[in-house]
Amino acid sequence: MKKILILITLVSTIFANDVTSLQSIKDNIFIEDGWEKVEVYENGVVVLIKKIPNIPIKAVMVKQIININSEIVAEVVEDISNYGDFLKSAKAIDANLLYSDDLKLIGHQHLKLKYVNDRHYAFNMFRPFGTSERVDWELIPEANFNSLDESDSVNKNGVYVDIGFGSWNTKILDNGDTEISYRLVMHPGGNVPKFAIDYINKVAIVALFDDAIKEALKRSKDLS
């Protein structure tokens, strides 16, 4: 189980030869229909999966109803430089913030893995509506990453993965509660059977989500 959690982290990737566009993935995972509930945990965390047309792996969503300020959640998600401190389930990550401005962040992560080749990837992170209610990220194609001056400062050992998307969302429900969700499409790379990928994703996203929410609650408590 520990190896599984190390293998899958914030990165959400599919291979370029999986014939669909990134925009198609984005559009599809925000359609509410088609999500199948597969797990409900005692703490209220719900895990759902969805088949995306023309992609051999499933999208995954994890969500929880919790009272917390959306800005704090967004700040945790955007705190790339400190991922290693609070993402306890992903101890093999080396995360670096390469660039930031008012519109986006550019981050890079390197995963040192046992028994398989290392992975590394760069990503753009941004708030598509300019508010804390939603934070998206998408992986940067390798050619674009290599053209960045900042790319020389990070560990490039291993396989580069460059097509993927994830989205954190905060929604106020009709009864006043707050629902936090994280949606992603992910492939770990290599010759991993598709059924194993789907299982790994379901397990790992819960651990990642739990780490991020715990950090957000901690920061919220520190502010009170």
The SS3 of residue 204 is: helix
CA 32 to CA 42: how far, in whole Å? 24
pLDDT band at 182 (very low <50, low <70, confident <90, very high): very high
What average pLDDT does the structure give for the chain?
82
Least confident of 17-21, 92-96, 120-124, 126-130: 17-21
- Burial (CB < 10 A; 0-12, 13-18, 19+), residue 121, is buried
Question: Which of residues 197 and 159 earns the better pLDDT score?
Answer: 159
- Could you give all domains of the chain from N- to C-terminal order, each with its CATH number? 2-223 (3.30.530.20)
What pLDDT is recorded for position 33? 93
Share of the chain above pLDDT 90, in %: 47
Q: What is the pLDDT of residues 100-115, one digit of tens each?
A: 999 999 999 988 766 6
**How large is the average pLDDT for residues 41-51?**
93
What pLDDT is recorded for position 18? 42
In the chain, how many H helices and how many E strands? 6, 10
What pLDDT is recorded for position 55? 78
Beta pairing, strands 36-40 & 46-51? antiparallel
Q: Is the pLDDT of residue 57 over 80?
A: no
Instruction: Tell me the torsion sign for CA atoms 84, 8, 78, 106.
Output: positive
Q: Is the pLDDT of residue 42 over 90?
A: yes
pTM of the model: 0.84
Phi–psi pair at 138, nearest 5 degrees: -145, 145
CA 125 to CA 172: how far, in whole Å? 23
Phi–psi pair at 144, nearest 5 degrees: -70, -40
CB 53 within 8 A of CB 195: no
Least confident of 36-45, 108-117, 132-141: 108-117
Q: What is the pLDDT of residues 70-91, one digit of tens each?
A: 999 999 999 999 998 998 876 6
pLDDT band at 117 (very low <50, low <70, confident <90, very high): confident
Closest among 78, 67, 210 to 135, alpha carbons compared? 78
- What end-to-end distance do the CA atoms of the chain give, in Å? 36
What pLDDT is recorded for position 37? 95
